[in-house]
Amino acid sequence: MSRVRVCARSELVPGRARLVRVGGREIALVDLGEAGLRAIDAICSHAHEYLSEGEVDLEERTIECPKHGSTFDLDTGRPRSLPATQPVEVFEVTTENDDVWIEVRDGE
């Protein structure tokens, strides 16, 4: 596993997602405010669309795919509504002072 610094915590906005790149991966980093940060695969499991462009629901802890409207659970990566049926990968996020780190498997 590799832990990579992706941005400063102070750059993030609650209720918004941000696209970050770790190695060859594109990851949606989501600020859930008091519930903390989440990181999931930025690309929807249904078709090639950026979840990082989607709308975040702070109460439900979901992000909605802007293309066909599937919502994904930000804790598990599982879709909560159709048409997507496959989960997206979730990544561990940690913060240290103002630094945000994401952990990915080596080679990704």
Beta bridge partners, 62, equal 57, 73
Judge whether 73 and 49 are in contact, CB under 8 Å.
no
**Listed ranges 1-9, 24-32, 46-54, 98-106: which one lies at the site for ligand FES (CB under 6 A):** 46-54
- Establish if 78 lies at the interface with ligand FES (CB under 6 A): no
Q: What is the smallest separation between the CB atom of 67 and ligand FES, expressed in angstroms? A: 4
Least distance between ligand FES and beta carbon 107 (Å): 26
Contact criterion met (CB below 8 Å) for 101 and 9: no
Task: Name the one residue in this structure whose structure tokens are 């996020």.
Answer: 93
Residue 46 interacts with ligand FES (CB under 6 A): yes or no = yes
Position 28 contacts ligand FES (CB under 6 A): no
Q: Percent helix, strand and coil across the chain, each rounded to 5?
A: 10, 45, 45
For ligand FES, the binding residue among 26, 35, 50, 67 (CB under 6 A) is: 67
* Residue 81 near ligand FES by CB under 6 A: no
User: Is there binding between residue 68 and ligand FES (CB under 6 A)?
Assistant: yes
Q: How far apart are CA 16 and CA 20, in angstroms?
A: 13
Q: The tokens 């989607």 sit on which residue? A: 54
Residues lying near ligand FES in the complex (CB under 6 A): 44, 46-47, 49, 65, 67-68, 70, 83-84
